[in-house]
Structure 1
Amino acid sequence: MSTFEELGVIPEIRQAITELGFENPMPVQAEVIPQLLSHKRDIIALAQTGTGKTAAFGIPVIQKTDLSLLSPQTVILCPTRELCLQIAGDLTDFSTYVEDLKILPVYGGSSIESQIRTLKRGVHIIVATPGRLIDLINRKTVSLKHVHTIVLDEADEMLNMGFSESIDEILSSVPESRSMLLFSATMPKEIEKITRKYMSDPVEITIGRKNEGAQNVRHLYYMVHAKDKYLALKRIVDYYPNIYGIVFCRTRKETQEIADKLMQDGYDADSLHGDLSQVQRDYVMTKYRNHNLQILVATDVAARGLDVDDVTHIINFGLPDDYEVYTHRSGRTGRAGKTGTSISIIHIKEKGKIAQIEKLINKQFEKRTIPKGDLICEKQLFNFVDKIEKVKVNEEEIDRLLPSIFRKLEWLEKEDIIKRVVSLEFNRLIEYYRQAEEIYEPEERSSKGRREDARSERGGRRQHNGVVQPEKGYARLFINIGKMDGVNPATLMGFINEHVKGKVPVGRIDLMKNFSFFEIPEELAPKVVKAFKGMYIEDRRLVVEVSRDENRPQKEKKQFFESFEGKKKKKHKQKR
């Protein structure tokens, strides 16, 4: 394994990166640093986020800077303000012992006048978002005539965000003799166009395969009914007690809704999306980076440039339409040599997307079932016990309080104290999962079955011999009250739970004029039927039973009227 000294890195930079914890070069650094230091040529580097890219280009551009020339010599373009600040901060750390090096982050959302003043004093390296740099160029407040190196970091992201024209304009403002380094996690056609237009015989360095996912990331998926996705998300978060993750949603509205629900349910969560002001974004990001948030719920655009090394889990609440976006999402975990997990919560119609993504990242997804409540409680409990075992005790501060505490608790046995501590922490969680309905996986069907399901969905529910079929694991019950009795789904659910001991999770409800159907877990059906046996509502006997014939109510109604008409005819004959 090579060292930074063998790569040609000067002592001043080596001292700084050693203090930062760098021991040996990561693969992308070992490949890129010698190329940039010894050759003035163009390089395409395909590597995932979190593989050490910033040091790969940051160390050489610092070392190649002529400190006597107080003019921009390197321009680093990146898609977002957050990434701009992150790169500038890293370069400042790498150059701790390089005296008089001037680095300026240039981005929107902050005072342009302040950036102009700094430029006039002179800088060596500019780290910029394309829009703000174009603005400075148009104002003629920045000169790029001495630029010898230009770096495009996360180039595919910049193109996705619509910066293609801005990149063209910036590249036309720098000398043709400059060298260019393009970093990208994927290699779409738009990137290939840039390389053909602006690069001369580039060296291509690929860490892993093109478009391949990060090597340290496991890919899992859970298949649930669409209506159960949020409940599934909660179970997954609870199943991983020490999760420090990002939940990706497709829209701003969904992002805010999911974050609000999580916060209402007691999770350390917040949202990050385009409707937030820059101040709000910075506040949320500071909380997340400081680990004051456990879960960040974000859109893809808002999370671009988010550079956090210790994210444990990525959760895809909805799979992206552009499968390459999945690569970016999953690349935010398993970074800097750590392992990570990318989880997708899908419904049955998204199963085909999983197969397509598997081809793209050259990895297999593991299919998992949603964890049961008892397993979640057990895992949370043992995690809590593990924390108690490892907690650091401040002996000096607590010693003076212990005698009073011991006197207060001396009537309790050790086992009683443990039970109370555990109950204090977990009663709410245990009670929630004791009452929570289980989440069932949709049944995978043949293409013929799916066509039949689609037809039945258009006209109602899937049927067999005239009987509507409940969801797997559920029983369909008939009750002889309906809309004419003032029943709606909420009142029916309340009525059932009022008269049946224990919480009854009610699934689909179909309300008719004089009767209704409702679905409950199969194992609860006998209990519910028994609870209503012999009950009357305003002199009418209540009938609750497992539905075996969907046409039964109509048949009974027809028989009743036939019988009634027959009695009328018989009575009329007797009178005559």
Structure 2
Amino acid sequence: MKTFEELGIAPNILRAIEEMGYENPMPVQEEVIPYLLDEVRDVIALAQTGTGKTAAFGLPVIQSIDIKQKVPQALILCPTRELCLQIAGDLADYSKYIEKLRVLPVYGGSSIESQIKSLKRGVQIIVATPGRLIDLINRNTVDLASVKYVILDEADEMLNMGFSDSIDEILKQVPDGRSMLLFSATMPKEIAKITRKYMHEPKEITIGRKNEGSNNVKHVYYMVHAKDKYLALKRVADYYPNIYGIIFCRTRRETQEIADKLIQDGYNADSLHGDLSQAQRDYVMQKFRIKNIQLLVATDVAARGLDVDSLTHVINYGLPDDIESYTHRSGRTGRAGKTGTSIAIVHIKEKGKMREIEKIINKKFEEGTIPTGQSICEKQLFNFVDQLEKVKVNEDEIASLMPSVYRRLDWLEKEDIVKRIVSLELNRLLDYYRDAEDIEVPTGRFSKDEKRGERGDRGERRSGGDRKSVRTAEKGYSRLFINIGRTDGINPATLMGFVNDFVDNKVRIGRIDLMQNFSFFEVPEKESNKVIKSLRNTEYNGRRVVVEISQGGQSNGSGSRGNRSESRFSGGGDRGRKGSSDNRKSRKR
């Protein structure tokens, strides 16, 4: 392994990075730096986030700057404000002992006037998000005619975020003779188009395999029923007392819902998504960086470009629609030589997608066993004892207080004191898991009901009819009929919201099957009668709502006015619905 000095890094830069703790170059740095210092025109570097890419392009670029010229000589484009600030901060640290070298971060959400003033004073390196740089170009306040280096960092993420046209516009403003460096974790088709259009015989450097996941990341999956995903998430979080990670969700709504649930359940969590203002995002990220938040629940878009060190876990609350997004998610942990774990909480229908991801990252998922309540409590206890052993005691500060404490606790034996300390710390978990049942793990193959359900869904989409076959509720749940469906604008979220608007203390809702004109949903068996009574005489969009227990709903039937047979609707469409509606009216009278 070579040293930074052997790679050709100048003494004033060496001094700065040594003070930062840099000892030996990482693989991507050892590969890229010599090419850039030798003035190879174009380079494509494929490497995961957290592998030292900033220093790989930053050190040679800084070394190549002519500080006598106060004009932009290097342009670094990145997808997000957070990454923009992180890169600019790192470059400022690397150039600590280079006088008069100026680095300017340019991004949205900050005063454009102050950025214009800085540009007028003179800068040599601009680190920018594409949108704000376009604004400055349109105002004729930035001149890119002297740029010698263009770096696209996390290029695949910029394209995923819709910056393709902006990048085209920016690259038209820089000289043809500039060098171009493209850093990306994956190599989608859009990246290949950029290389063909703007790069000349680029040198391609791949650390690992294309699109491959980091070697420092372990990939684990937990297979659960969809209704148990949140319970599984809680158990994973409880099993790792010192967890510091990001939970990825697919939608803004789901992100906010999961964050709210975690906060209500006492977890150190918050959300990050596109509905938040820039000020709110900055506030959340600041709390997360200083570890006031242990769990950040985020969408893929909001988390792109985040650079947070020492994440222990990334949790996929379901797998992303875009398979390559998994590479970016998992790349948030296991960075800078540290190890990390990427966890996927999936249901049986995501198994095929998981196999596709394995091919891309060239790694196998390990099947995880959902922690039991007993194992969680043991893990938390030993973690607490470990913290107790390592706690720093300031003898001088507490000396005056200890005599009073000793007098208050004098009647207790040492064993009693230890038991009380442990109970004080762990009572919440002990109470929660005392009667908690283990989460049921689905079999590796589709059950008959799941297969029928899939066929029913497909048949309904093709014909527009209501073709659901008879289905039995999950164990411990009752299956309820409700006379509103897709034509009423119902989706799973609105149905859950409607039910819990009228049911006291909320109710857990399991499987939901939406039909065109009616629906079925499952609730805990002991809650079924309460739900039926709570929704009696309610209306949805002007229609009177009827809720009844479906045939095979696994309920004792007390308190209900009859069971709703699903088989009557299996192929009858609206005709069956109208006939039974008349029957319901006659019974109500």
CA–CA distance in structure 2, aligned partners of residues 349 and 424 of structure 1: 42
Where does 1:98-247 land on structure 2 (aligned, <5 Å)? 98-247=98-247
Contact kept in structure 2, 1:508 and 1:518, CA below 8 Å: no
Which residue number corresponds to residue 355 of structure 1?
Answer: 355
CA–CA distance in structure 2, aligned partners of residues 303 and 446 of structure 1: 33
Contact kept in structure 2, 1:49 and 1:335, CA below 8 Å: yes
Change (3 A) 1:446 1:64: same
Q: Give the Å deviation of 1:369.
A: 2.4
CA–CA distance in structure 2, aligned partners of residues 431 and 508 of structure 1: 21
Which residue number corresponds to residue 249 of structure 1?
Answer: 249
Change (3 A) 1:414 1:516: farther
CA–CA distance in structure 2, aligned partners of residues 447 and 406 of structure 1: 62
Which residue number corresponds to residue 17 of structure 2?
Answer: 17
CA–CA distance in structure 2, aligned partners of residues 226 and 217 of structure 1: 26
Matched, 1:283 2:279: no
Change (3 A) 1:228 1:461: farther
- Matched residue SS, 2:197: helix
Change (3 A) 1:152 1:515: closer
Where does 1:303-314 land on structure 2 (aligned, <5 Å)? 303-314=303-314
Change (3 A) 1:73 1:44: same
Q: Give the Å deviation of 1:355.
A: 0.4
- Matched residue SS, 1:246: strand
Contact kept in structure 2, 1:509 and 1:519, CA below 8 Å: no
AA aligned opposite 1:317 = Y
Change (3 A) 1:446 1:105: closer
- Matched residue SS, 1:296: strand
Per-residue CA deviations over 1:29-85 (Å, capped at 9, x if unaligned) read: 011111111124100000000000001001111110000011000000001111101
Q: Give the Å deviation of 1:349.
A: 0.7
Which residue number corresponds to residue 389 of structure 1?
Answer: 389
Which residue number corresponds to residue 28 of structure 1?
Answer: 28
Per-residue CA deviations over 1:471-508 (Å, capped at 9, x if unaligned) read: 4xx47899xxxxxxxxx9979x99xxxxxxxxx97489
Q: Give the Å deviation of 1:395.
A: 1.7
CA–CA distance in structure 2, aligned partners of residues 133 and 406 of structure 1: 65
Q: Give the Å deviation of 1:447.
A: 8.4
CA–CA distance in structure 1, aligned partners of residues 476 and 165 of structure 2: 59
Which residue number corresponds to residue 500 of structure 1?
Answer: none
- Matched residue SS, 1:279: helix
AA aligned opposite 2:137 = I
AA aligned opposite 1:16 = A
Matched, 1:65 2:65: yes
Contact kept in structure 1, 2:348 and 2:445, CA below 8 Å: no
TM-score normalized by the length of structure 1? 0.82
CA–CA distance in structure 2, aligned partners of residues 295 and 223 of structure 1: 21
Contact kept in structure 1, 2:247 and 2:297, CA below 8 Å: yes
Instruction: Report the more deviating stretch, 408-417 or 429-438.
Output: 429-438
CA–CA distance in structure 1, aligned partners of residues 440 and 357 of structure 2: 25
Which residue number corresponds to residue 418 of structure 2?
Answer: 418
Contact kept in structure 2, 1:507 and 1:519, CA below 8 Å: no
Contact kept in structure 2, 1:316 and 1:345, CA below 8 Å: yes
Change (3 A) 1:144 1:218: same
TM-score normalized by the length of structure 2? 0.80
Identity score, percent: 69
Q: Give the Å deviation of 1:339.
A: 0.3
Q: Give the Å deviation of 1:400.
A: 2.3
Contact kept in structure 1, 2:221 and 2:367, CA below 8 Å: yes
- Matched residue SS, 2:105: strand
Which residue number corresponds to residue 544 of structure 2?
Answer: none
Where does 1:514-529 land on structure 2 (aligned, <5 Å)? none
Contact kept in structure 2, 1:437 and 1:505, CA below 8 Å: no
Matched, 1:292 2:292: yes
Q: Give the Å deviation of 1:169.
A: 1.1
CA–CA distance in structure 2, aligned partners of residues 39 and 514 of structure 1: 74
Q: Give the Å deviation of 1:204.
A: 0.4
Where does 1:460-539 land on structure 2 (aligned, <5 Å)? 460-462=469-471, 468=472, 471=474, 474=475, 506=525
Contact kept in structure 2, 1:229 and 1:345, CA below 8 Å: yes
Change (3 A) 1:454 1:170: closer
Alignment: residue pair count: 504
Which residue number corresponds to residue 525 of structure 1?
Answer: none
Change (3 A) 1:515 1:84: closer
Q: Give the Å deviation of 1:517.
A: 6.4
Contact kept in structure 1, 2:245 and 2:295, CA below 8 Å: yes
Per-residue CA deviations over 1:290-345 (Å, capped at 9, x if unaligned) read: 00000000011111111012010000112111110000000000000000000011
- Matched residue SS, 1:408: helix
Which residue number corresponds to residue 318 of structure 2?
Answer: 318
Q: Flag structure 2 segments of 5+ consecutive residues without an equivalent.
A: 458-466, 480-499, 508-522, 533-546, 561-565, 568-589
Change (3 A) 1:177 1:476: closer
Contact kept in structure 1, 2:243 and 2:312, CA below 8 Å: yes
CA–CA distance in structure 2, aligned partners of residues 30 and 98 of structure 1: 23
Contact kept in structure 1, 2:220 and 2:343, CA below 8 Å: yes
Which residue number corresponds to residue 438 of structure 1?
Answer: 438
- Matched residue SS, 1:150: strand
AA aligned opposite 2:121 = R
Which residue number corresponds to residue 92 of structure 1?
Answer: 92
CA–CA distance in structure 2, aligned partners of residues 476 and 127 of structure 1: 56
Per-residue CA deviations over 1:388-412 (Å, capped at 9, x if unaligned) read: 0111111221222222211111111
AA aligned opposite 1:445 = R
CA–CA distance in structure 1, aligned partners of residues 453 and 145 of structure 2: 65
Contact kept in structure 2, 1:225 and 1:348, CA below 8 Å: yes
CA–CA distance in structure 2, aligned partners of residues 418 and 513 of structure 1: 53
CA–CA distance in structure 2, aligned partners of residues 59 and 395 of structure 1: 47
AA aligned opposite 1:328 = H
Q: Give the Å deviation of 1:455.
A: 5.7
- Matched residue SS, 1:200: coil
AA aligned opposite 1:39 = E
Per-residue CA deviations over 1:266-287 (Å, capped at 9, x if unaligned) read: 1110000011111100000000
AA aligned opposite 2:161 = M
Q: Give the Å deviation of 1:436.
A: 2.6
CA–CA distance in structure 2, aligned partners of residues 210 and 455 of structure 1: 37
AA aligned opposite 1:123 = V
AA aligned opposite 2:291 = H
CA–CA distance in structure 2, aligned partners of residues 508 and 363 of structure 1: 44
CA–CA distance in structure 1, aligned partners of residues 452 and 334 of structure 2: 42
CA–CA distance in structure 2, aligned partners of residues 475 and 261 of structure 1: 23
Which residue number corresponds to residue 409 of structure 2?
Answer: 409
Which residue number corresponds to residue 560 of structure 1?
Answer: none
- Matched residue SS, 1:195: helix
Contact kept in structure 2, 1:507 and 1:518, CA below 8 Å: no
Aligned Cα root-mean-square deviation (Å): 3.0
Q: Give the Å deviation of 1:459.
A: 3.7
CA–CA distance in structure 1, aligned partners of residues 71 and 455 of structure 2: 69
Q: Give the Å deviation of 1:453.
A: 5.4
Which residue number corresponds to residue 377 of structure 1?
Answer: 377
Q: Give the Å deviation of 1:461.
A: 4.6
Which residue number corresponds to residue 575 of structure 2?
Answer: none
CA–CA distance in structure 2, aligned partners of residues 443 and 260 of structure 1: 31
Q: Give the Å deviation of 1:443.
A: 2.6
CA–CA distance in structure 1, aligned partners of residues 298 and 36 of structure 2: 35
Contact kept in structure 1, 2:259 and 2:297, CA below 8 Å: yes
Contact kept in structure 1, 2:314 and 2:329, CA below 8 Å: yes
Contact kept in structure 1, 2:272 and 2:297, CA below 8 Å: yes
Which residue number corresponds to residue 258 of structure 2?
Answer: 258
CA–CA distance in structure 1, aligned partners of residues 359 and 447 of structure 2: 22
CA–CA distance in structure 2, aligned partners of residues 519 and 288 of structure 1: 45
Which residue number corresponds to residue 490 of structure 2?
Answer: none
AA aligned opposite 1:55 = A
